[in-house]
Structure 1
Amino acid sequence: MSFEIRPAAPPDAAAVCQVLRRSIAECCVLDHHNDPDILAAWLGNKHPAMVNSWFESSTNYSLVAVLGGEVVGVALLTGAGKLALCYLLPEAQRQGAGTALLLGMEERALALGMKALYLHSTATAEGFFDASGYRRDGNVRSPYGVETILFWKPLVQNAEPDARKRFCNCNSA
């Protein structure tokens, strides 16, 4: 399947919200266990105005995966080297869009001079990031009450993990 990977733009915000909300609600049950409080907290900032603000931030870089003219995935990289989002619609998973988004973010990070990428993975996505060469570096509780796995990946030879990246300090994504 061939996905178009392109920079996200403000007109994509509503479609990206649907990607985020459906992916979290439908695919991350292992993480939220259908707990309404956790879901409400996790989904609370997933609305078009907030997503648009993430896209417009000069410190973020966002990509979308598009198939047949429809946004089916999103990834967001912060200026601090954190992959803050990497989500797909349930029906777009395991078809190459996630890998394409991840590779696009790694290329962008390298172009920005970053030596490593960091992310907080759900248990649901743990296998994907592990298979993509990311290294586990412990667990971190998210602001919305889900235990996440801290992963990092060296993008250049001899890169070392940054201990300061262990803590989320982000409520943006």
Structure 2
Amino acid sequence: MYMGIAIRKAVAADAPAACALLRRSIEECCARDHHGRPGVLDNWLANKTPQNVATWFTTPSNFAMVAERDGELLGLALLTQAGKLALCYLQPGSLRKGIGQALLAGIEEQARVWCISKLHLQSPASASAFFERHGYCNAGKEVTCFGLECDLLWKRLDAVESAVAGAARSRFCNCSSQ
């Protein structure tokens, strides 16, 4: 629990609220990116249906998390076993409160459980700085399948695991440090 906000695994029953969150976040938080262009916005929103979101949440090769307070969804994130951070969205009023950071930490933890060493995502320019602050490298521009120019971002996770493994090795080693 973080400031009264629960971060938990998403379930199919979350789909209607999660779909509404996705659509509102894209329409409002990403307005600088799509500029209200109907071709881009309509295509971006086209697959954001409760049925699709429920399928994404229940597909075994995906891992989805939600942030909620008092039964209201404030954010969601979805990782694929291919190492793609496919979704990371917040309600407009929930930005800059640590919710995105908590979701991202949970997704990265799951990636390590799945032995994924590198995450990647397409980020609208308006959200790229958030990911860069959390260690993601910007590899340049890429156009999404729905026509939006995004930043291609990635982060290596195995360096963190190597450091943890090294610390554990030295802590449990039988050798003398003299």
Deviation at 1:58, TM superposition (A): 1.0
Aligned length: 159
Question: Which residue of 2 is the match for residue 125 of structure 1?
Answer: 127
**Within the alignment, does 1:143 sit opposite 2:141 as a pair?**
no
Q: Which runs of 5+ in 2 are unaligned?
A: 162-178
Question: Which residue of 1 is the match for residue 154 of structure 2?
Answer: 152
Residues 34-66 of structure 1 deviation map (CA, whole Å, 9 limit, x = unaligned):
111111100001010000110111110000000
Identity of aligned residues (%): 47
TM-score, normalised on structure 1? Answer: 0.89
Q: Aligned letter for 1:117?
A: L
- Write the distance in 2 (CA, Å) between the matches of 1:17 and 1:55: 11
- Write the distance in 2 (CA, Å) between the matches of 1:102 and 1:151: 14
**Could you say which structure has the greater relative contact order, defined with CA pairs below 8 angstroms and 6 or more residues apart?**
1
- Write the distance in 2 (CA, Å) between the matches of 1:5 and 1:145: 32
- Write the distance in 2 (CA, Å) between the matches of 1:144 and 1:7: 28
Q: Aligned letter for 1:118?
A: H
**Within the alignment, does 1:43 sit opposite 2:33 as a pair?**
no
Deviation at 1:77, TM superposition (A): 0.2
- Write the distance in 1 (CA, Å) between the matches of 2:33 and 2:138: 17
- Write the distance in 2 (CA, Å) between the matches of 1:158 and 1:52: 32
Question: Which residue of 1 is the match for residue 173 of structure 2?
Answer: none
- Write the distance in 2 (CA, Å) between the matches of 1:116 and 1:53: 24
Whether the aligned pair in 1 keeps the contact of 2:19 and 2:49 (CA below 8 Å) is yes
TM-score, normalised on structure 2? Answer: 0.87
Which structure has the larger Rg?
2
3-state SS in 2 of match to 1:157: helix
Question: Which residue of 1 is the match for residue 94 of structure 2?
Answer: 92
Q: Which runs of 5+ in 1 are unaligned?
A: 160-173
Question: Which residue of 1 is the match for residue 9 of structure 2?
Answer: 7
- Write the distance in 2 (CA, Å) between the matches of 1:110 and 1:35: 38
Counterpart of 1:109 (choices 108, 111, 119) is 111
Higher percent of residues as helix: 2
- Write the distance in 1 (CA, Å) between the matches of 2:113 and 2:160: 17
- Write the distance in 1 (CA, Å) between the matches of 2:128 and 2:63: 23
- Write the distance in 2 (CA, Å) between the matches of 1:39 and 1:15: 20
Whether the aligned pair in 1 keeps the contact of 2:81 and 2:116 (CA below 8 Å) is no
Deviation at 1:114, TM superposition (A): 0.7
Question: Which residue of 1 is the match for residue 27 of structure 2?
Answer: 25
CA 1:65/1:158 → structure 2, altered by over 3 Å: closer, same or farther?
closer
Question: Which residue of 2 is the match for residue 171 of structure 1?
Answer: none
